[in-house]
Structure 1
């Protein structure tokens, strides 16, 4: 049997390998609100330094952030249960010991409820409503209760509790990192990674709710702070191998993020392939994210076409799919010529509407039946020419 010597390139270096389980503490270089005064949205543009991390990424990849819970929510939990924030609790499979406040802030998922948490919590209370809710025949009601509620709701709704802080903590899952599409090209921004994050805030069940990571970034992350991050490759969302291919990008709202990275990459490599971006949001005056950059790219010829849809600027709401239908003839020419088609953003409505519009364009301009148009699109997907990054 032949013995092969290990390739020295593969030899482990002394440098730590940063990953999901060992994130890199990246310094925040910039954190600005992209929306104008009067907008109902808050979208943060965040630039982080990757200097010394050895981390790299390609357009289409995501960045994971390990977030911290809102200090106000943590103190409400401590107050509700009369817990001592200094009490030492054990968390995780390794049995790590942490002060309760630190465990609730940095380690545990406290903003999401699961069926399992409620089922196990029922052992610590005689509350009849919870006992009823966890019955097998009430599975739908249990699911409905979990939706949009958190640990504080559960503790308030189903007490009094006969449980120690440790017993409640043991019910909870470890906090999961939040993933965001990378909004920069490393070729254009060496040692940096940029993100486009929409702050999630809403009212449900009589309380204000905040996205764990998005509101941390909007309200509590300052320039100079450190954020634990790692790169999450995305094998299903990537630029064509040949830069001579045309690319069509549909990214309303924060869905613009990966396309900023695509366009930067195309610009720095002086790619001959044409580019067409469909962007949409509420108001042109306050919500046209990266407007100056995009218009400069258009002026320089890097962005061949830019079509925008601002839904609240007209009596009839106009969305990106309407702009696609308006341009159906040219859109089909690009596609039929081998263009790659990308969609990023809201899975529930936008991605479905865009898919629907795309089938309609192919059906109409390709003089096909509905079934033929859908088969054409399936074929594009097989070839990797129709890619979606939806959430």
Structure 2
């Protein structure tokens, strides 16, 4: 009996105004986007569009390093095609906050399937400014036109697909906030919380290593201060909601956007106008641009008071925040937990608050429903072979995914060994999950626990110092096939940890400097070095 073969699915009809090569490429591109949702769709490579430039690709991006300044990244990409230049402008963290990884976000912008240029949360203003500059330089472009036209044609025939419920920022679900408990003991300089949500009435299922997206709200007191500074009425209805509700739930009141400075420049004159224009162009005439939030910008230009509706149009939308999940679905069924630092600091006699962190840490009442979504991990997960050894390095709130990993390993009774490097400021106040980790060590789930405290004693000790001190054993684990994971600050800590691995490979593996660097690269390519950085 012969096998029945279905004819290939045509996603771009022959009478569409494209060449045969372009139709073939577009069919593959849309098949890749739709994937298994379209029966019979066959995805082809999208690395290069016929007659157009090569698309961005993580495997061909020497600037794909979150510790590298944007100026250096752009210099490395200056001779590359447009999509790769767009990728170089991203924060290079592949954190998923934009809903893509860095390369896919760049390609989506280039192909005109994504119009929003402000989704790279870690990149902030410098990424947004560079994307705007590149977008203006590239224009629509002939290569992008077919994808745009085909996308518009498809959209005309069916409603916009928001994506699976609970699994993307465009289609979040509501979950009940169960509560919080403080992880710091008295004497700590920071305020860190363990927070939990109930997932039982949601479609969300997750794995250790995934992240949770949360839609925060601004502090009502901050929204009230902005309204008072505008001289507006809080109950004024704009777009179906009051001005106060809009400022609390819909708009970012953090770093003042360029659009606000442009608006203020139109309402001022003389020296004030010059400064507002300079700020809108990314300059820093008074050396305070990094500290100016929306309220601070209004204070800086007291004579400029725009209409409330025009003012809202100049602001950025309030973006969701991603947090590494610190629970295991196998041990914490029906719940998900996060480990969150509440950000607070004073600047010029004003208390400044982290939006999402203080929303979770103090403002959200228990049993309140909050909008959340799951962000699946990109290459950050436990090895499939339970016998594989695991080395985890997570100072501060970087402990979050490794608490999840350890709980997962305990629930699955994984025979592989587990080694955790954890550090913070002071052992007495900042040893997060101390009782749990101690119990896991007693139960032989946690094979080794290496601790580093930067404020105890006369010399600062960090996790990378502990890695070098235990270098001989660390090398044996790595040579035995262990997987290495790091979670934390992308620009400093993660780079220091990489440097420590290179030093260990050189000292205990007898490798030359170049060979030691190549060894780290080999671990990354093999998926044995994975990072969750922010």
TM-score w.r.t. length of structure 2: 0.68
Q: Aligned residues, how many?
A: 380
Contact kept, 8 Å, 1:133 with 1:139, in 2: the verdict is no
* Corresponding position of 2:125: none
Q: Does 1:62 align with 2:205?
A: no
CA drift at 1:207: 2.1
CA drift at 1:120: 3.7
CA drift at 1:208: 1.6
Identify the match of residue 227 of structure 2 among 57, 64, 78.
Answer: 78
Q: Does 1:164 align with 2:312?
A: no
CA drift at 1:146: 3.6
Contact kept, 8 Å, 1:122 with 1:131, in 2: the verdict is yes
- Which blocks of at least 5 consecutive residues in structure 2 are unaligned? 9-36, 40-163
SS at match of 1:59: coil
Contact kept, 8 Å, 2:279 with 2:285, in 1: the verdict is no
* Corresponding position of 1:324: 467
Q: Does 1:226 align with 2:360?
A: no
Q: Give the 3 Å change call, closer, same or farther, for CA 2–359 of structure 1 in structure 2.
A: closer
* Corresponding position of 1:215: 358
Contact kept, 8 Å, 2:191 with 2:341, in 1: the verdict is yes
CA drift at 1:242: 1.2
Q: 2-side partners of 1:143 and 1:361: how far apart?
A: 45
Identify the range of structure 1 (143-152 vs 153-162) with the bigger mean alpha-carbon deviation. 143-152
Q: Give the 3 Å change call, closer, same or farther, for CA 142–212 of structure 1 in structure 2.
A: farther
Identify the range of structure 1 (201-210 vs 170-179) with the bigger mean alpha-carbon deviation. 201-210
Q: Give the 3 Å change call, closer, same or farther, for CA 81–251 of structure 1 in structure 2.
A: same
Identify the match of residue 194 of structure 2 among 40, 45, 48.
Answer: 45
* Corresponding position of 2:121: none
Deviations 1:150-184 (A, max 9, x none): 11011111131252100111101110001100000
CA drift at 1:271: 0.6
- 1:149-160 superposed matches below 5 A: 149-160=292-303
* Corresponding position of 2:183: 34
Identify the range of structure 1 (237-246 vs 154-163) with the bigger mean alpha-carbon deviation. 154-163
Contact kept, 8 Å, 1:127 with 1:160, in 2: the verdict is no
Contact kept, 8 Å, 1:115 with 1:143, in 2: the verdict is no
SS at match of 1:134: helix
CA drift at 1:69: 0.2
Identify the match of residue 17 of structure 1 among 162, 165, 177.
Answer: 165
RMSD of aligned Cα (Å): 2.4
- 1:255-270 superposed matches below 5 A: 255-270=398-413
Q: 2-side partners of 1:154 and 1:135: how far apart?
A: 13
* Corresponding position of 2:434: 291
Q: Which has the higher strand share?
A: 1
Contact kept, 8 Å, 1:59 with 1:261, in 2: the verdict is yes
Q: Which structure ranks higher in relative contact order (CA pairs < 8 Å, sequence separation ≥ 6)?
A: 1
* Corresponding position of 2:531: 388
* Corresponding position of 1:93: none
SS at match of 1:74: helix
SS at match of 1:140: coil
* Corresponding position of 1:364: 507
CA drift at 1:3: 8.2
- Which blocks of at least 5 consecutive residues in structure 1 are unaligned? 91-96
Q: 2-side partners of 1:265 and 1:272: how far apart?
A: 12
CA drift at 1:387: 1.0
Q: 2-side partners of 1:124 and 1:137: how far apart?
A: 14
Contact kept, 8 Å, 2:264 with 2:304, in 1: the verdict is no
SS at match of 1:249: strand
TM-score w.r.t. length of structure 1: 0.91
Q: Give the 3 Å change call, closer, same or farther, for CA 57–116 of structure 1 in structure 2.
A: same
Identify the match of residue 244 of structure 1 among 387, 392, 399.
Answer: 387
Contact kept, 8 Å, 1:149 with 1:205, in 2: the verdict is no
CA drift at 1:142: 6.4
